[in-house]
Structure formats: structure tokens, C-alpha cells
């Protein structure tokens, strides 16, 4: 039985138990919720304890990996630039669209109270009432150690970026020692996260039972809204790749869309960008006629570094929490969360989906100033739109290849 299936079973059993208690024994429902919620919170705390060292290590290693790739030639540099710009566009689009989509659904105050009771954690969040100047000054930490101690993820990631880029300028031998050190930290944290995820069905069971015992069906309907908005935005950013390929990549719909289909079929059926790589290479070479040296470099790089839907998912999850709690999020916080999502996604592409969920979503949620407790519940349903996510990633991979191929052709013309 897969880990996703086990977590979904825990979610279903916990929801059924909570709803049954709320319907048949309402007097005892809150007592049971109070009894089981400490186990859910303990599991959430265990996940959160790995986030700071894991994110810092991933950003440092990711910066140096991208730097090494860009140093390998002009094609690689063009690919890195295309990846970053496309990811940024997708994340900003999600930051603009997600709050509007969630606002179409009515907010339930009972759900907010249930979440505050069941999944409240002591992790600090960014205050939503600070002025823009104070918020802007807080982006660069005056004390990086304090930022880490307070789980202030945005300034911590900014410091990690400075550290990572500074590392590229030192002696190669010492640089490799430091990179190996941070890679070992990341690998160790991944092992710990896997241990914690092994008991995820129990943690999710306790959390969802506690929330459903208090809020009834409102929690399940809210998770359905989350998955629906996530799917809609996955489809939207996938469709946006077509005008990007036309305007920036010089393609036509008549030629580009049919070339996408074989790779998209593999992506939707396997839910793996890596498994779709042969189909992407075949389409890029035979159907689109891109140079072999571009295809051989850009597409493997895209599979290793570039997932269009990842920052979209991080932003959507934070916007969902803001909607569930009735929190108004400023444009500055949305923009900061979107840009942070791009950085996090570039450093975490190699992680398995379940392992990366908290490490990637928690920093973005904190940058937006929303509680992080509900992420434990969202973990259980986030795998449902995976087919659409992979389809979007594969479409973006071929779109980025079209951009690099056009720029390379212009240079040689």
C-alpha cells in the first residue's frame, strides 16, 4: 500500500469518526476532540522541526547547482533564465488569481474556530498589520541566527541565497566541502521527515477527527474547495504556456499543440516528468525540429530543476489557509510569497512529493503571514491533483525548450 493511500485512509477514518461523533454524540464530540488533538499537534511539531535546516540546506545547494549548470554554456544559461522567468510568471499569476477564486466561496466562521482549536501551533507567523516599510526592512535579517530561531523563513531564505551565491566565489575545493556538508544536512533531514511521515496516517487521523468533531462537514467541503482551486490554477498555468511558446518561443498553435500531446499523455498516466522525458525528447526533435544539442541539455535540466506547478501549489495552499481563517493578505505579502515560492521550488525539485510538502509549503505560508497548522490536513489531499500538475510541468518543459531553441537559432543565423 502506498504512503498516499495510507494517509487518505487515515483522513477518511478520522473524518467519518468526527462526523459520527458530531451527529450522534455532540456532547462528547468536543471531549474526544480535545483528547486526540495533542497527538495531531505532536505530529505537526515533528514535521516543523525539520523545516529550517532542510530549507536552508536546499537553498544553498540549489543555488550552487544552478550556478554550475549555468556555467556549462550559453544554452544552459538561457535555460536557467527561461526557467526562472516562467516560474515567476506562474507564481505571480497564482498569487493574483487564488485569492479571487477562494473569495467566490463563502467563509465559515465555525471552520475557523475549529482550526484554531485543533491545529493551532506555536510557530510564529508574519504579522499582517505591519507597514510596508517595516515589512520591507525585515526581508534582509539583521541576525540570521535569530531569524532561524524564530522560523522567520523569508529573511532566512534571503540569507541562504546570499550564502549560496557567496559560496560560488570561494576556492573550488573548499566550496565542495561546504556543499557536501549542506547536502548531508538535507539528506539527514529527509530521513527524519520520512520517519515522521511513516506515522502520517495517525497524525492526519487525529487532526481531521478533531476538526470534524467541531466543524462537521465544513472541513471536508473546505478541503474540496482547496483541491478544486488548485486544479483550476494548474489548468490555467498550463494553458498560459501556449501564448508563451507563441510569443517568446516563436511557435504556432497548429505545430506546437500536437507536439505536446504524446508527452502529456505519458505525464497524465505516469504522474512523472522523468518518465515523460523520452516522449518530450521525441517531440522536440522530430515534431518540432529543435536542435539536438538544445534538446539534450534543456529537457534533462528542466526535469531536474523546473516544475511550473510547484510554486503555484505553494501559493494556493497559503491562500487557502488565509481564506479558511478569514485573513486579509496584502499585495506585498502575496508578491513576497510568490517570489519565495520560486526560490523554494528551484531548490526542492529532487525531493519526493510527500517529503517536500511541509518543507516547501511552510516557508511560503509563513511569508504570507498565515497559520501553518492546517498544512497537516492539506498534506492528505494534495496528491489528488498530481496528474494535472505533471501535465503542466511537461508542457512548461517543452515551452522553455522552444524559447531556448529560438534564441539559439537567432544567434547562429
Average pLDDT over residues 226-237: 97
User: Is pLDDT at 305 greater than 90 in this prediction?
Assistant: no
The CATH number that applies at residue 308 is 1.10.3860
Max distance between CA atoms of the chain, in angstroms, equals 78
Q: What is the dihedral of CA 351, 242, 336, 225, to 10 degrees?
A: -80
Q: Please report the pLDDT score of residue 135 as a whole number.
A: 66
- pLDDT tens sequence across 111-123: 888 887 767 654 4
> Which is more confident, 87 or 333?
87
> Which is more confident, 413 or 332?
332
Q: Please report the pLDDT score of residue 204 as a whole number.
A: 92
Q: CB neighbours (10 Å) of residue 173? A: 7
Q: Please report the pLDDT score of residue 372 as a whole number.
A: 87
- pLDDT tens sequence across 236-258: 999 999 999 999 999 999 999 99
Q: Please report the pLDDT score of residue 127 as a whole number.
A: 42
Q: Please report the pLDDT score of residue 132 as a whole number.
A: 65
- pLDDT tens sequence across 161-193: 999 999 999 999 999 999 999 999 999 998 998
Of 137-141, 158-162, 186-190, 293-297, the least confident: 137-141
What is the residue range of 215's domain?
3-412
- Assign 356 a pLDDT band (cuts: 50, 70, 90): confident
**Contact yes or no for 370/364 (Cβ under 8 A):** no
What's the pTM value of the predicted model, to 2 decimals?
0.88
Q: Please report the pLDDT score of residue 125 as a whole number.
A: 42
> Which is more confident, 66 or 179?
179
User: Is pLDDT at 283 greater than 70 in this prediction?
Assistant: yes
- pLDDT tens sequence across 366-378: 888 899 889 988 9
What mean pLDDT is reported for the chain?
Answer: 88
- Assign 357 a pLDDT band (cuts: 50, 70, 90): confident
| Domains: count for the chain | 1
Average pLDDT over residues 343-355: 73
Average pLDDT over residues 29-40: 87
Amino acid at each position: 500500500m502506498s504512503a498516499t493511500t495510507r494517509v487518505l485512509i487515515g483522513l477518511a477514518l478520522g473524518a467519518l469518526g468526527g462526523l459520527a461523533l458530531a451527529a450522534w454524540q455532540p456532547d462528547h464530540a468536543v471531549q474526544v476532540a480535545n483528547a486526540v488533538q495533542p497527538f495531531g499537534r505532536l505530529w505537526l511539531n515533528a514535521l516543523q522541526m525539520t523545516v529550517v535546516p532542510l530549507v536552508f540546506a536546499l537553498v544553498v545547494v540549489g543555488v550552487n547547482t544552478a550556478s554550475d549548470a549555468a556555467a556549462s554554456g550559453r544554452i544552459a544559461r538561457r535555460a536557467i533564465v527561461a526557467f526562472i522567468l516562467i516560474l515567476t510568471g506562474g507564481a505571480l499569476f497564482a498569487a493574483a488569481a487564488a485569492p479571487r477564486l477562494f473569495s467566490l466561496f463563502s467563509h465559515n466562521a465555525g471552520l475557523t474556530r475549529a482550526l484554531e482549536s485543533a491545529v493551532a501551533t506555536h510557530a510564529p507567523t508574519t504579522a499582517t498589520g505591519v507597514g510596508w516599510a517595516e515589512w520591507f526592512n525585515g526581508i534582509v535579517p539583521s541576525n540570521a541566527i535569530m531569524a532561524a530561531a524564530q522560523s522567520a523563513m523569508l529573511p532566512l531564505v534571503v540569507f541562504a541565497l546570499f550564502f549560496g551565491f557567496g559560496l560560488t566565489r570561494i576556492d573550488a575545493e573548499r566550496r565542495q566541502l561546504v556543499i557536501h556538508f549542506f547536502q548531508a544536512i538535507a539528506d539527514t533531514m529527509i530521513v527524519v521527515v520520512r520517519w515522521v511521515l511513516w506515522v502520517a496516517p495517525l497524525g492526519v487521523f487525529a487532526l481531521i477527527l478533531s476538526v470534524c468533531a467541531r466543524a462537521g462537514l465544513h472541513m471536508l467541503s473546505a478541503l474540496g474547495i482547496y483541491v478544486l482551486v488548485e486544479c483550476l490554477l494548474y489548468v490555467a498555468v498550463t494553458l498560459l504556456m501556449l501564448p508563451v511558446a507563441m510569443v517568446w518561443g516563436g511557435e504556432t498553435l497548429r505545430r506546437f499543440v500536437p507536439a505536446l500531446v504524446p508527452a502529456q499523455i505519458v505525464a497524465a498516466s505516469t504522474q512523472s516528468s522523468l518518465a515523460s522525458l523520452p516522449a518530450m525528447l521525441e517531440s522536440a526533435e522530430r515534431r518540432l525540429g529543435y536542435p539536438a544539442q538544445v534538446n539534450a541539455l534543456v529537457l534533462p535540466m528542466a526535469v531536474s530543476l523546473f516544475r511550473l506547478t510547484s510554486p503555484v501549489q505553494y501559493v494556493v495552499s497559503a491562500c487557502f489557509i488565509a481564506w479558511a481563517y478569514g485573513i486579509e493578505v496584502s499585495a506585498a505579502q502575496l508578491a513576497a510569497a510568490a517570489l519565495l515560492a520560486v526560490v523554494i521550488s528551484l531548490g526542492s525539485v529532487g525531493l519526493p512529493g510527500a517529503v517536500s510538502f511541509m518543507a516547501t509549503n511552510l516557508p511560503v505560508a509563513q511569508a504570507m503571514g498565515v497559520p501553518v497548522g492546517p498544512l497537516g490536513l492539506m498534506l492528505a489531499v494534495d496528491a489528488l491533483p498530481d496528474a494535472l500538475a505533471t501535465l503542466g510541468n511537461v508542457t512548461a518543459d517543452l515551452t522553455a525548450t522552444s524559447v531556448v531553441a529560438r534564441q539559439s537559432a537567432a544567434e547562429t543565423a
